[in-house]
Amino acid sequence: MKHVVSISLGSSKGNKSHVAEIFGEEFKIERIGTDGDLKKFAQMFKDLDGKVDAIGVGGADIYVVVDKKRYAFRQIQSIVSACKTTPVVDGSGLKHTLERETVYRLQREGTVDFKKERVLLVSAVDRFGMAQALAELCPNVVYGDLMFAIGLPIRIRSYRAVRIIGALSLPIITKLPFKWFYPTGEKQDVRKPKFGWAFDEATFICGDTHFIKRSAPDKLPGKTILTQTLRKATIDWFRSTGLKRIITTTPVMGGETFATNVMEAVLVAALGKRPEEMTEADYLGALERLEWKPGVLELEA
């Protein structure tokens, strides 16, 4: 049996273990939270190195991307570099392929008509494949990077502006502590609604689940969310807001969805390649073999 572990800076309350058959082989898939404890987070990479088939980085990113330029969070990259044998991924391979294809597929199959939606993407540099696809298909997108990562009440209305702002700011931001920009540990469960007008203006909200839940107002009537990780408690909360529909990019396993980093770790382990050897064709081919499709959960009665 292959063994894949996601080591997360998120809460240990979200720990999960599941056994699935993938490409005819059994996989034990685990998610282990470290409650925002960076020392414990770092130690787990050392402890599991060479003992599991692939490791995912959860509750944090190694890379954020603008256009074709990748910027590494120095703090996270330093920690995962302790892993010398086992492949480590942060989901950026699937953000480049699966999340981009999700947007194209939703439009192609008529599930969503992005030409008619007013989209709020809470962070373009975190979901860069999604951001680039939306820039092609949707004439009305607000990229929320300045609002939800930095706290400035400024809408970014074009991906060209994301490129310019990212090129100026990310070389500095990625050298600062990661927790300044993304909630870790129990903070992921603490809601601090802000810029409610941005959510009110949108008909379609997409991006990281924690970013959305942390910042969204109490009510999201009639809106659709496109995201990745969904636990039962999160679905229940979204249902309480009056949300119309949730679409997920990653497959449902055991009644819930694992994060993008988990799925990428599974695919790397299944194909037996190092992350740097994986191509777009590898990811898309593997997803086709899995008969992957976006999950659509209608919440309105």
Residue 169, pLDDT above cutoff 80: yes
Return the pLDDT at 2: 95
The per-residue pLDDT for 48 is 96
pLDDT given at position 90: 93
Q: How far apart are CA 246 and CA 230, in angstroms?
A: 9
**What is the structure's pLDDT at 68?**
81
pLDDT digits (tens, 9 = 90+) for 270-282: 999 999 999 999 9
pLDDT of residue 14: 81
Confidence at residue 233, expressed as pLDDT on a 0 to 100 scale: 85
How much is the pLDDT for 255?
Answer: 61
Share of the chain above pLDDT 70, in %: 97
pLDDT tens-place string over residues 201-250: 999 999 988 889 999 999 999 999 999 877 788 889 999 999 999 999 98
Average pLDDT over residues 281-291: 89
Query: Mean pLDDT throughout 116-131?
Result: 94
The angle at the Cα of 106, spanning 242 to 63, to the nearest 5 degrees, equals 90
Average pLDDT over residues 257-280: 90
Q: What average pLDDT does range 29-48 have in this prediction?
A: 93
pLDDT at residue 261 is higher than 60: yes
178 Rama class: left (phi>0) / alpha (psi -120 to 50) / beta: alpha
- The pLDDT score that the predictor gives to residue 239 is 93
Q: What confidence category does residue 124 fall into, taking pLDDT thresholds of 50, 70 and 90?
A: very high
Position 4 confidence tier, pLDDT thresholds 50, 70, 90? very high
Q: For 145-156, what is each residue's pLDDT tens digit?
A: 999 988 999 999
pLDDT band at 301; cut points 50, 70, 90: low
Average pLDDT, the chain: 91
**One-letter amino acid of 195:** F
Could you give the maximum distance between any two Cα atoms of the chain, in Å?
50
Pull the structure tokens for residue 266: 């599974």
Q: How confident is the model at residue 254 (pLDDT cuts 50, 70, 90)?
A: low
Amino acid, single-letter form, for residue 10? G
Determine the Cα–Cα distance for residues 74 and 80; give it in Å rounded to an integer: 10
